[in-house]
Amino acid sequence: MEDTIFGKITRGEIPTEFLYEDEHCVVIKDIYPQAPTHVLIIPRKPIPMLSEADADDQALLGHLLLVAGKVADQLGVGDAFRLVINNGEGGGQTVFHLHLHILAGREMKEGELASRLA
Ligand code: 5GP
């Protein structure tokens, strides 16, 4: 796969504040926040998109979900957040290195997801 900005960030080649990091992933603030809290959980392994993950990635994918819960807690939004993964161009993905968005701090409207899908 081609390198991406997230590859450079996870390797430390672009100085970026990590809100959380461990051997498997880093968490950064989104540069164009769509909510008062908007952070990205990025695995160090450069999987282009969720649909290209395979059975070997099972533990990593579970880990990313657990980190999401932990980081949401640390950010004080542990009981009210939305977790989003955009998959592929048609799914709104723009950076082709798997990442999870945590969005919080504003009302998450019921119809918002449906209207984006329409
Ligand atoms: P996607 O659309 O691929 O699901 O999400 C990519 C996200 O990465 C977007 O929300 C965008 O604002 C964010 N983003 C793109 N480039 C950078 C960057 O260089 N630094 C940070 N912190 N976020 C970025």
CATH, range 5-104:
3.30.428.10
Other beta carbons within 10 angstroms of residue 36's beta carbon come to 10
Backbone angles phi, psi at 63, to 5 degrees: -60, -45
Q: Which residues line ligand 1 (CB under 6 A)?
A: 5, 28-32, 40, 86, 92-95
Ligand 1 geometric centre to CA of 78 (Å): 22
Q: Which residues are catalytic?
A: 99
Backbone angles phi, psi at 41, to 5 degrees: -100, 120
* Structure token pair of residue 15: 């100085």
% of the chain residues with pLDDT over 90: 87
30 CB contacts (<8 Å, ≥6 apart)? 38, 39, 40, 101
Model confidence band, residue 5 (pLDDT cutoffs 50, 70, 90): very high
Position in ligand 1 atom list of the atom nearest CA 32: 12
Ligand 1 geometric centre to CA of 31 (Å): 6
Position in ligand 1 atom list of the atom nearest CA 95: 3
% of the chain residues with pLDDT over 70: 92
Instruction: Answer yes or no: is pLDDT of 86 > 80.
Output: yes
Instruction: Answer yes or no: is pLDDT of 31 > 50.
Output: yes
pLDDT at 118: 42
pLDDT at 108: 85
| Cβ proximity of 28 and 19 under 8 Å | yes
Q: How far apart are CA 105 and CA 114, in angstroms?
A: 20
pTM flag (> 0.75): yes
Instruction: Answer yes or no: is pLDDT of 83 > 90.
Output: yes
